[in-house]
Amino acid sequence: MIKNIFFFLAISFCAFLIAPTTYACDPLGCLFSGHKQDALILGEVVSEVGDTRDIKIIFVFPQSQVRSLKDGNNIPVGDISKTINFTEEETKTITVGKKYLMSLHKSDNFYIPAWGIYEITGTNYSDAKLVKNKTIDDEALQIFINSGGTEKDFAFYYSGDKPVLIRNVVRPEAPETKEKSIFMIIAIFTASIIWFITAGILFFNPIVDKQYRKEENIPGVRSLPQSAKTIGKILIAIFIQVTLWAYVYSIISPSLIGDKLTKGTIFGLIIVGLKIIPRDIDRLLLTTYPKKRMTIEFVIGIICSFAVGITFGYLL
């Protein structure tokens, strides 16, 4: 039984290796990539007989598979009425003197339409302009033509209801993303300042300050000098924490319920639960840190947590 299973897997693997490669692409994607396309040219119609047009080549794109084609060559293109992006009636407008981007298959001694024919104006690929340039596909095709076929990697994404073209698969920053970044920076600085001022008022008012300093000389307490350097360290510590909490809030805020105040209050509870309570449980059980001092820091920590949360609720 096991041998049969291994034999089946081996046969399946070999079949996978030797299976013919298949391709799938939309007409414009196939035109850009050269898939099943013998020639991609800019050309001018110099004569017409029935459903055939004699085309003078202006430019040969690198997506062409027939390497013998050169600028200035004349080639016959038949079955014009079967062009996929024209109706049969519209193909009658492909007339002498007009210029086109043509995706073509080779069939015996002449060519037939492949992935579309597009009318242009201009004298070469660099100044060619699509006569019809209304859609985002047309925008991509225009860029492709003017690059001489070198810029061919495009994608689309939606910014609101309008599709946005991505060139060379580099996603442009949407306006709403820039706006969010600005609000994020404002929220971080605002919350940091509010935390610093709130903590300063609560710690250094005469009543609390007197009680807080009573236990300064107890072992396990590190007293920092009241200096500009200490203030700088406090500000840096606050800024780093607020930045991290802002990032967390930006991720979970869509899941928070209620209005701005409610969301901010909920997030304040999250900060208390993840930062203040675990910190003081450790200090209570594992250190000799003085209880009165710990209680003051615990209460002020909760107040500052809600101040930060509510600031985020209104600004983010």
213-268 per-position pLDDT tens digit: 887 777 767 776 778 888 899 999 999 999 999 999 999 988 888 899 999 999 99
Residue of 108, 126, 113, 116 whose CA lies nearest to 59: 126
Residue 158 vs residue 90, higher pLDDT: 90
Mean pLDDT of the chain: 86
Interatomic CA distance for residues 284 and 279, integer angstroms: 9
High-pLDDT (> 90) share of the chain, %: 60
What is the CATH number assigned to the segment(s) 27-167? 2.40.50
Burial class (CB in 10 A: 0-12, 13-18, 19+), 15: exposed
* Block residue for tokens 């319920």: 257
9 has pLDDT over 50: no
Q: Which amino acid is at 129?
A: K
Q: Confidence band (pLDDT; 50, 70, 90) for 161? A: low
- Residue count of the chain, please give it: 316
For the chain, report the end-to-end CA distance as a whole number of angstroms.
62
Window from 169-178, 203-212, 258-267 with minimum mean pLDDT: 169-178
Q: What is the mean pLDDT of residues 77-102?
A: 93
pLDDT confidence of residue 2: 40
Q: Confidence band (pLDDT; 50, 70, 90) for 24? A: low
pTM score: 0.48
14 has pLDDT over 50: no
pLDDT confidence of residue 13: 39
pLDDT confidence of residue 124: 94
Q: Confidence band (pLDDT; 50, 70, 90) for 20? A: very low
Q: What is the mean pLDDT of residues 106-115?
A: 91
Tokens of 226: 């009241």
Residue of 31, 59, 28, 67 whose CA lies nearest to 43: 59
Q: Confidence band (pLDDT; 50, 70, 90) for 162? A: confident
Residue of 263, 254, 242, 264 whose CA lies nearest to 311: 264
99-107 and 52-60 beta bridge pairing = unpaired
Window from 30-34, 192-196, 298-302 with minimum mean pLDDT: 30-34
